[in-house]
A and B are shown apart, each in its own frame.
Chain A
Amino acid sequence: MHKGYGVGSRRVEVLRSVDLAVFSGEMVAVVGPSGVGKSTLLHLVGLLDRPDSGELSLFGEDTAPLTFDARSRWRARRIGFVFQFHALLAEFTLEENVAMPLLIVGIDRAEALARAAVLLEVMGLADRRGHLPDELSGGEQQRGAVARALISAPDLLLADEPTGNLDSANAESLFVLLREAHARHEMASVIVTHNEELAARCDRVLRLGAGGLEEQCSKA
């Protein structure tokens, strides 16, 4: 795939010639310096943007013909996102934030909140579920964001620097959480990270550079 932004002399080629495959059950880390297109890759895979050229197939299906609505439905039902800055909605409690993907697909609010409560119990956040995001610690916020990404049991989990704003202890516990969830849900995971140590603990590491995909390393 290939992706750039801007036109003419202002055009910036962000992602060049990335050719990769991610398999179900595989946890892939994407590393590289800033500006090489790691987040752009995630946005393309997450159907938030379209490549300028190349093909993107998800779950065996070509995504090019998908309409806006179809892409939204895919994101709602099959893809989970974890953002760097937790991205919890400030006016909603932790429980409501976690339930939001289910509400978007039309699940009854009571049922959605009940499922969110169960998941938060598993995450160790049961006593915080009625709190607003700004009443939570950084680690709690990010765990809440992970819970939101997992609530609809997605086939693909995309995490953009999930531990970027956490201290090492919280980063470690969050990664363990991701690893466990990945194993439990048997999904594919793509994690963008600057943390080489965490990246090395993934099944595969993709190293992006200015010229595109430079290296792929699998865990032996």
Chain B
Amino acid sequence: MGLIAFVSGRWLGGLRRRTHVAAVSAISMGAMALGALALVVTLALLEGFQSTIRQQLADSGFHAELRPRSGPTLPGGTWLDDIRRRHPELAVRARRSGAVWCVAGGAALPAELEVQDTLSRVEVNRVLAARLQAGVGSELTVVSPRLQLTPLGPAGIRRHAVIGAVTRIQPGEERAIVTAPPGLGEALIEGRAPSSVELRDADSSRAFSVASRVQDELPDGVDVVSFAELNRPLLAALSLERVMIGLGVALVLVVAGLNLLCNLALLAAEKRSDVAVLVALGLTPQRVFALLLTLGTAIGALGATIGAALGGLIAVVLDRSQALPLPAGVFIVSHVPFRVTAGMLVAVWGIAFVIALLASVVPAWAAARRGCLEGLRYE
């Protein structure tokens, strides 16, 4: 490989002595650079927006949920208190829930009642509020399937309340939910064991790791659902968006690779007599192949390095300078965010390198197969 690197490096450096070939090689290098730059900036833009969305998601909801593996409620014991004690950074909210009917404004709808220890008022989510056409201050009657004996016979237990708040819903949430404090809720649903427990880290940037932190401390019969699993549809959509857009922009690199293929074919023709001399001196066809492959890959790799570095720099500058403002009230951020990671730069460089390598194969193979006599005769 030493000879190959020596010769290809010298040929690459010697290109400047041949203006037209140097110009074509510079164009190939520039095309690879442009492709890498475009891909880095695009991925940084996507990552900027998507990380903002993920952060918003983490800020607005809980980060993990403990559910019974079977049955409607979680097992008893001190494990929940142990989790509270061992993880003071986590807010632990036990939910007890059951099916009820909600009546308001003449409409009656089935809903899920959740009892929260920390609540002091009755809240409904937007789904229920919309279906009941009720809002803050509306009167609400919650009817439980538990029966109580009345002078008129058995009837469902009822509690009346005023809606204190209408809560936001999780993306994709379609359940009608009424949330009540213990004083009101426990009378309406059977049993007191929690049906699930919500965990939330005070530092929302650690949302993805909450489940793994408590995994080993759970008793048998309790499963933990991670933040990623709770938001699987949205996160999968974000991932798919990143992949598809990335693939689309990566086509620029493919076009650059085709340009490199043509350029290398031109270089191979230019170097035909030199290759013929090297073959006459004893260079094997495999090493001729390696020589041209190294030359083409080096051109592509140089371009990819320049492009990835420039792309990263542009993205960082655009983000820090907040150069691209967004209309207030329309987007969740005030400017177009860019987020560059080392892994992103390495991945883009790697893709560009592989494309350059593949583009170099055919001209290198053709040069290796070509007999040297033509090159010597030309001499």
Beta-carbon contact of B282 and A73 below 8 Å: yes
Beta-carbon contact of B282 and A104 below 8 Å: yes
Beta-carbon contact of B14 and A90 below 8 Å: yes
**A84 CA / B273 CA spacing, docked (Å):** 13
**A46 CA / B278 CA spacing, docked (Å):** 13
B→A interface (CB under 8 Å) = 2-3, 6, 10-11, 13-14, 17, 273-274, 277-286, 371-373, 376-377, 379
Instruction: Pick the contact of B284: A72, A77, A87, A90 (CB < 8 A).
Output: A72
Beta-carbon contact of B277 and A89 below 8 Å: yes
Top 5 nearest A-B pairs by Cβ distance? A76-B282, A91-B14, A72-B284, A75-B282, A91-B10
Beta-carbon contact of B3 and A49 below 8 Å: no
Beta-carbon contact of B281 and A100 below 8 Å: yes
What sequence of 0s and 1s flags, for each residue 66-92 of chain A, a beta carbon within 8 Å of any chain B beta carbon? 001100111111000101110101111
**A89 CA / B6 CA spacing, docked (Å):** 13
Known contacts A91-B14, A109-B6; A83 and B277 CB within 8 A of each other:
yes
A→B interface (CB under 8 Å) = 39, 43, 46, 48-49, 68-69, 72-77, 81, 83-85, 87, 89-92, 100-101, 103-106, 109, 148
Beta-carbon contact of A103 and B3 below 8 Å: yes
Beta-carbon contact of B6 and A103 below 8 Å: yes
Beta-carbon contact of A72 and B372 below 8 Å: no
User: Which residues of B have CB within 8 Å of A48?
Assistant: 279-280, 371-373, 376
Instruction: Pick the contact of A105: B11, B282, B285, B373 (CB < 8 A).
Output: B282
User: Which residues of B have CB within 8 Å of A43?
Assistant: 373, 376
> Can you name the residue of chain B whose Cβ is closest to the Cβ of A85?
B379
Q: What are 30 residue pairs bridging A and B, where the CB atoms are less than 8 Å apart in the complex?
A: A43-B376, A48-B373, A49-B373, A68-B285, A69-B285, A72-B279, A72-B283, A72-B284, A73-B284, A74-B282, A75-B280, A75-B282, A76-B281, A76-B282, A77-B282, A81-B280, A83-B277, A85-B379, A89-B277, A91-B13, A91-B14, A91-B17, A100-B281, A103-B2, A103-B3, A103-B6, A104-B283, A106-B3, A109-B6, A148-B281
> Can you name the residue of chain A whose Cβ is closest to the Cβ of B277?
A87
**A109 CA / B283 CA spacing, docked (Å):** 16
Q: How far is the CB of B58 from chain A (nearest CB, A)?
A: 58
Instruction: Pick the contact of B10: A74, A76, A84, A92 (CB < 8 A).
Output: A92
